[in-house]
């Protein structure tokens, strides 16, 4: 009884959040729209700005798209930015969550359903990290429907990078005091503050400059709700089914990679993509980790504005 009541209240809370967001977006001159997917779910996207249109995909998997609103705000004078709330995240959280609905194939199809809703012949897609992996998967599956992919510190065309990324590079870059803090908060009961602190000390190694991370992460964490169940379901499917090595080369259009020199993803990832997509242009930002929008925003947005033209 308690479980069913909690689920009921959660659905009501999500619907209330959607209504509040719709009203807020209307008053701020933004638009929140929805579309129906091939399997009958309702997903949402936020439209900001005017100009050539492109899709912004959030990382994770599992983070909401509103954490990327500063990207859209920065580019809104030159572009129409579509902040897509992927299935199981943000405004699109009120959906069935199981292995039949949260998987790579469904995520790629959702993107093409969005394309059809927008009336676009071809998509320009920009995504950091997991968002860059989803962009590669879409271009592999629908090469004729893809105009350009812009990948920011992406994962590679398969999951071979994951163990190095997760088990080696992140722990190696965590300072001793940060390691102690992470262990402490991991051992505390679940609460709003403990969940916040766990995320903070886990993500700090993503930065080249940890002091910038300490200043910037609180706002990012608070603006980017994380759906752990969606994350777990998608990672389980990716470990089984994410391998684009046999079909990514079918994509012949533009590919740009923007990479922080000190990104936690191993550099071999970029070589793998370049080997499959020799047309790839690689742009490096020095003294920069996994989140260039936070470490070097002026340089990053200047580059992004140029490559999206």
Reduced 3-state DSSP string for the chain: CHHHHHHHHHHHHHHHHHHHHHHHHHHCCCEEEEEECCCCCEEEEEEECCCCEEEEECCCCCECHHHHHHHHHHHCCCCEEEEEECCCCHHHCCCCCCCCCCCHHHHHHHHHHHHHHHCCCCEEEEEECHHHHHHHHHHHHCHHHEEEEEEECCCCCEHHHHHHHHHHHHHHCCCHHHHHHHHHHHCCCCCHHHHHHHHHHHHHHHCCCHHHHHHHHHHHHHHCCECHHHHHHHHHHHHHHCECCCCHHHCCCEEEEEEECCCCCCCHHHHHHHHHCCCCEEEEECCCCCCHHHHCHHHHHHHHHHHHC
Residue 108, pLDDT score: 98
Report percent pLDDT > 70 for the chain.
91
Model confidence over 146-198: pLDDT tens digits? 999 999 999 999 999 999 999 999 999 999 999 999 999 999 999 999 999 99
Query: Is the pLDDT reported for residue 10 higher than 80?
Result: no
Indicate if the pLDDT at residue 1 is higher than 80: no
Domains in the chain, start-ordered, CATH in brackets? 2-160+233-308 (3.40.50.1820)
Mean pLDDT of 259-288: 97
Gap between the Cα atoms of 68 and 188, Å rounded: 30
Residue closest to 79 by CA, chosen among 298, 282, 297, 306: 306
- Mean pLDDT of the region 14-34: 56
Q: What is the pLDDT of residue 13?
A: 44
pLDDT at 210: 98
Q: Find out whether 245 and 276 touch, Cβ atoms under 8 Å.
A: yes
pLDDT in the model for residue 131: 98
User: Which residues does residue 283 pair with via DSSP β-bridges, in sequence order?
Assistant: 258
258-269: average pLDDT: 97
CB 58 within 8 A of CB 45: no
CA nearest to 7, candidates 136, 69, 93, 83: 93
- Looking at residue 65, what is its pLDDT? 95
How many whole angstroms from its chain centre is CA 111?
A: 13
112-159 pLDDT per residue, tens: 999 999 999 999 999 999 999 999 999 999 999 999 999 999 999 999
- Please tell me the predicted confidence (pLDDT) of residue 97: 97
Question: What phi and psi values does residue 190 have, to the nearest 5 degrees?
Answer: -60, 130
For the question of whether the overall pTM of this predicted structure is more than 0.95, the answer is no
pLDDT tens digits along 35-91: 999 999 999 999 999 999 999 999 999 999 999 999 999 999 999 999 999 999 999
Beta-sheet pairing, 123-128 with 146-152: parallel
Q: How far apart are CA 262 and CA 289, in angstroms?
A: 5
Cis bond upstream, residue 61 (ω within 30) = yes
pLDDT, residue 23, reads: 44
Asked whether the CA dihedral 154, 160, 164, 167 is positive or negative, the reply is: positive
- Residues 201-246 have pLDDT tens digits of 999 999 999 999 999 999 999 888 899 999 999 999 999 999 999 9
């Amino acid at each position: 009884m308690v479980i069913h009541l909690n689920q009921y209240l959660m659905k009501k809370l999500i619907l209330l959040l959607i209504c509040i967001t719709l009203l807020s977006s209307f008053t701020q001159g933004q638009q929140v729209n929805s579309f129906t997917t091939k399997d009958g779910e309702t997903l949402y996207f936020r439209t900001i700005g005017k100009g050539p249109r492109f899709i912004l995909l959030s990382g994770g998997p599992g983070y909401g798209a509103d954490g990327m609103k500063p990207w859209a705000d920065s580019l809104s004078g030159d572009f129409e930015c579509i902040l897509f709330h992927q299935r199981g995240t943000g405004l699109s959280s009120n959906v069935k969550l199981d292995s039949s609905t949260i998987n790579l194939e469904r995520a790629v199809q959702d993107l093409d359903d969005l394309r059809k809703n927008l009336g676009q012949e071809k998509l320009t897609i920009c995504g950091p990290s997991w968002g860059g992996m989803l962009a590669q998967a879409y271009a592999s599956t629908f090469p004729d429907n893809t105009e350009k992919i812009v990948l920011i510190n992406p994962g590679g065309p398969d999951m071979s990078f994951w163990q190095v990324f997760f088990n080696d590079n992140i722990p190696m870059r965590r300072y001793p005091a940060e390691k102690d803090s992470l262990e402490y908060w991991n051992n505390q009961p679940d609460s709003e503050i403990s969940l916040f602190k766990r995320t903070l000390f886990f993500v700090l190694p993503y930065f080249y400059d940890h002091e910038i991370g300490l200043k910037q992460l609180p706002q990012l964490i608070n603006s980017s709700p994380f759906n752990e169940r969606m994350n777990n379901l998608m990672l389980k499917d990716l470990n089984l089914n994410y391998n684009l090595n046999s079909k990514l080369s079918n994509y012949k259009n533009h590919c740009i990679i923007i990479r922080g020199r000190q990104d936690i993803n191993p550099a071999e990832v970029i070589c793998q993509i370049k080997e499959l997509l020799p047309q790839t242009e690689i742009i490096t930002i020095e003294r920069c980790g996994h989140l260039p929008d936070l470490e070097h925003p002026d340089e990053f947005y200047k580059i992004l504005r140029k490559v999206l033209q």
